[in-house]
């Protein structure tokens, strides 16, 4: 057994060393032509332009050159998209067929009740705790053992969260990559009616630092995004949301070195003709550096999906406790994982925490810690936006008003914490009204029901519940309700 363990450790060390050696050598990528030309003028030994088309370039760039690129001309993200070969880099310049994968689904806003419940369920402290938890790895650099461990641990965290809420429709998997030893993490919530239509939100799990990748806490970039999408999903579980379309929550590997994890996943989905309806990217959500709360990145994103996000905010966040403000901003070439999906023809949107002239100056340093913000209030706003997006695009499977129920002469509705019922004289008599939570636990029963009345439910928490009428003819009628 000791010999076997030694062999396994040796194999892992060999893999890590192999990737480390690849990291120290040059690699192929695509990037903005203007950035490539400027970098070549200043650091001619670090980059070779091998092809040009329009405003893009295919390049061979050294690791040192990639650091120079980021420090010289960029404020966020790697600024390039990693390619595994020269031919792949050149081919990427020719890829104009971006419309083939586009979903034709019309985006609508119809789920007021469940969306408001979800926003109320978002817990700021949960986000803060998760950011700190990820920061405490010290680094999540894609070739580090801590980076791989953070992915393993996030898988367990998401699995535990699903188990806590008895979600048998949820699975979590690791996605291994060819370009990095760090796996991505994907949580899937199976759609009940349209399981082959996918709604995706993601952020990147890895971190980097120009001061040494062993000291790369990455609290804002991008522990905040991972904590944001995790809490949005937990809130959906808490209120019992069950999607009609399949939802996937993704924590991408190796974004900081060329969008490697998301690029492989998006390319795989495109190759297999996966119907991705829409993708939301959450990369940096907790630095409140600008006058508006949210800035929608206008390049490498889909105009119609950006417009829908804005419609969501106009509808749900124009005033009151959930008020948010927004504007737009330009990013840069390949500045986050949305670009991977966009390059494969999928609709992607990237709501960002600030304008790019007022970005968090501590990212990619050892000072990117949670203490800079002190709270998770800003990220909470993005978690609310994320929950709105997931609910309205995936749509709720709970039928909150069923004509069949009322057709039989049983009228039940709720206002705040009061349930009012009315039973037609021609309907079968009711023995009891029972109320169940979404885990199937009976939490209230009322017997000796007359033809009308009210039930006060102040002791019951807000959420989605099932009302069951036990009829004297041995039948049962059920209806889902929302308590606010």
CA–CA separation, 477 and 431 (whole Å): 12
Which phi-psi region, left, alpha or beta, contains residue 166 (left: φ > 0; alpha: ψ -120 to 50)? Answer: left
> Among 384, 364, 377, which Cα is nearest to 222's?
364
CA–CA separation, 46 and 69 (whole Å): 10
Burial label, 352 (beta-carbon count in 10 A; 0-12, 13-18, 19+): buried
Q: Within its chain, how far is the Cα of 163 from the centroid?
A: 19
Q: Which residues of 97-117 are buried (b: 16+ CB within 10 A; e: fewer)?
A: eeeebebeeebeeebebbbbb
- Told to judge if 220 belongs to the known catalytic residues of this protein, a careful annotator would answer no
> Among 184, 190, 151, 185, which Cα is nearest to 170's?
190
CA–CA separation, 82 and 268 (whole Å): 15
CA–CA separation, 421 and 345 (whole Å): 50
> Among 284, 333, 299, which Cα is nearest to 80's?
333
Question: Beta strands 194-204 and 275-281: pairing type?
Answer: parallel
Active-site residue identified among 222, 256, 264, 388: 256
Active-site residue identified among 70, 142, 322, 364: 364
86 half-sphere exposure, CB direction, 13 A CA radius: 6
Active-site residue identified among 56, 111, 206, 221: 221
- Told to judge if 42 belongs to the known catalytic residues of this protein, a careful annotator would answer no
Burial label, 299 (beta-carbon count in 10 A; 0-12, 13-18, 19+): middle
DSSP letter for each residue of 175-215: E--SS-SSPEEEEEE--SSEEEEEEEEEEE-----TT-TTS
Active-site residue identified among 70, 204, 338, 378: 204
CA distances from 292 to 74, 81, 123, 306, 360 (A): 22, 29, 22, 16, 14
User: Which residue is it, tokens 């998760």?
Assistant: 130
CA–CA separation, 463 and 121 (whole Å): 9
Residues contacting 460, CB < 8 A, separation 6+: 417, 435, 443, 444, 483
Active-site residue identified among 220, 231, 255, 293: 255
- Told to judge if 364 belongs to the known catalytic residues of this protein, a careful annotator would answer yes
What the block records as the tokens of 113 is 């009740």
Catalytic residues: 204, 221, 255-256, 283, 364
């Amino acid at each position: 057994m000791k010999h076997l363990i030694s062999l396994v450790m040796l194999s892992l060390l060999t893999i890590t060393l192999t990737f480390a050696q690849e990291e120290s050598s040059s690699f192929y990528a695509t990037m903005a032509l203007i950035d490539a030309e400027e970098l070549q003028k200043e650091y001619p030994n670090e980059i070779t332009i091998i092809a040009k088309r329009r405003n893009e370039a295919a390049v061979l760039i050294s690791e040192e050159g990639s650091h120079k690129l980021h420090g010289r001309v960029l404020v966020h993200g790697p600024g390039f998209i990693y390619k595994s070969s020269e031919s792949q880099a050149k081919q990427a310049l020719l890829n104009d067929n971006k419309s083939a994968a586009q979903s034709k689904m019309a985006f609508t806003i119809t789920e007021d009740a469940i969306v408001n419940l979800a926003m109320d369920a978002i817990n700021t402290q949960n986000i803060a705790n998760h950011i700190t938890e990820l920061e405490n790895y010290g680094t999540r650099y894609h070739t580090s053992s801590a980076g791989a461990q953070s992915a393993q641990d996030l898988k367990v965290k998401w699995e535990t969260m699903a188990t806590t809420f008895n979600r048998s429709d949820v699975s979590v998997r690791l996605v291994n990559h060819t370009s990095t030893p760090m796996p991505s993490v994907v949580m899937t919530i199976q759609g009940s009616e349209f399981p082959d239509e996918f709604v995706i939100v993601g952020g990147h799990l890895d971190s980097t630092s120009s001061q040494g990748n062993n000291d790369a806490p990455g609290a804002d970039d991008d522990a905040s995004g991972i904590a944001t999408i995790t809490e949005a999903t937990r809130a959906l579980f808490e209120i019992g949301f069950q999607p009609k379309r399949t939802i996937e929550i993704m924590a991408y590997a190796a974004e900081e070195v060329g969008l490697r994890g998301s690029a492989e996943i998006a390319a795989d989905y495109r190759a297999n003709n996966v119907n991705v309806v829409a993708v939301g990217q959450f990369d940096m959500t907790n630095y409140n550096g600008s006058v508006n709360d949210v800035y929608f990145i206008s390049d490498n994103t889909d105009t119609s999906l950006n417009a829908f996000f804005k419609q969501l905010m106009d509808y749900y966040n124009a005033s009151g406790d959930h008020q948010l403000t927004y504007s737009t901003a330009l990013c840069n070439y390949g500045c986050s994982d949305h670009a991977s999906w966009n390059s494969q023809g999928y609709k992607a949107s990237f709501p960002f925490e600030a304008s790019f002239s007022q970005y968090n100056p501590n990212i990619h340093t050892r000072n990117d810690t949670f203490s800079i913000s002190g709270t998770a209030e800003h990220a909470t706003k993005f978690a609310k936006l994320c929950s709105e997006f997931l609910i309205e695009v995936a749509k709720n499977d709970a039928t909150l008003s069923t004509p069949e129920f009322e057709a039989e002469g049983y009228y039940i509705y709720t206002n705040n914490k009061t349930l009012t019922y009315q039973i037609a004289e021609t309907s079968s008599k009711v023995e009891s009204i029972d109320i169940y939570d979404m885990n199937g636990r009976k939490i209230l029963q009322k017997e000796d029901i007359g033809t009308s009345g009210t039930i006060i439910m102040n002791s019951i928490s807000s959420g989605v519940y099932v009302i069951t009428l036990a009829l004297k003819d041995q039948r049962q009628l059920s209806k889902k309700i929302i308590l606010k």
